[in-house]
Amino acid sequence: MPVNPELRSLDIDIPSQPESLVKLSLLLAADEIDLPAVAALIETDMALAAAMLKAVNSSLYGLKGRVQSVQQAITYLGMREVAGITFEMGLRAAFPPTPELEPVWQRAAQRGLIMGRLGQRLSLDAWAAHSAGLFEECGKAVLFRHAPDHYGAMLRAATSDAELLTLEHTGFGVSHDALGAALCESWGLGPAAVASVRHHVLAQETLEMPPQLLRRPIVALSVIAHVLMTAPQTLDDVVARLAPQADLDATLVLRGARLVAEQLVAGAEHGRD
């Protein structure tokens, strides 16, 4: 999809989707996913395959044995999580490596995993949820690449993402949520993921769904993932307030969120053994 002309007028470059991810997106869009073809595609990019295997063997996934091939990773984790790791690595590769963005990528991996697993448990579009989590903060990487010194200072000065939006609008005329949504559109992510990336800051800050937002469940998962990562003690209250706004069953959401949180804790503990 073309990038919004208003964003193009700001002369802020939206990176193109890597060719390997274009091909992977086509394979994932098929009615019946060809798992050997997906594994072969990832394995043709040696740097991507190596990064994916490093990620899948990290404590975040808590697998019992060491995974040594992409095919093995698909067997243990399933296609969605392997695709998520691959997209995460492709997203990282689109931007220069820098310590300032490392926390962004670490949060992306954890958030994507939480949202994907929760989406699966709630019978929502788990890939839309996972990809929305991965791309939620990607607009920060776009702005950092555009003006590393200026934007680096903004990242250090802001005490919250809501405050960061104000600084971004003042400094650049655009905010990272809008840029992130534009990148998602240009990389072919679905409308639900794009909407989540576009509206996540407001929803997380206010616990209110924007009135114009039609696709609400994935945004709700974004807020819940944010709570699990930053203030898990507030989970019950947040779910009770948020679930009705997204037409979700609060009891099922709470049960699913607690289970996913337990899985991640167990995985991390196993990874330290």
Whole-number Cα distances in Å, 129 to 2, 63, 92, 113: 23, 22, 19, 9
For the stretch 201-231, what's the b/e string if a residue is b when 16 or more beta carbons lie within 10 angstroms of its beta carbon? Answer: bbbbeebebeeebebbbbbbbbbbbbbbeee
Whole-number Cα distances in Å, 140 to 29, 108, 150, 152, 170: 28, 12, 12, 10, 15
Provide mean pLDDT across the span 9-32: 83
Residue 214 pLDDT class (50, 70, 90 cuts) = confident
Indicate whether 216 pLDDT > 50. yes
pLDDT tens per residue across span 127-159: 999 999 999 999 999 999 999 999 999 999 999
**Average pLDDT, whole number, for the chain?**
89
DSSP 8-state assignment for residue 45? S
- pLDDT reported for residue 102: 95
- pLDDT reported for residue 3: 44
Choose between 39 and 180: higher pLDDT.
180
HSE toward the beta carbon, residue 58, CA cutoff 13 A: 13
Pairwise CA distance, residues 148 & 80, whole Å: 33
Question: Which is nearest to 165 in space by CA: 193, 129, 204, 194?
Answer: 204
Residues with Cβ within 8 Å of 77's Cβ and at least 6 positions away in sequence, in order, are: 56, 61, 63
Token code pair at residue 227: 């709570």
Its sign, for the CA torsion 72, 77, 80, 85, is negative
Domains of the chain (ranges plus CATH)?
Answer: 1-15+98-273 (1.10.3210.10), 17-93 (no CATH)
Distance in Å from the first CA to the final CA of the chain: 46
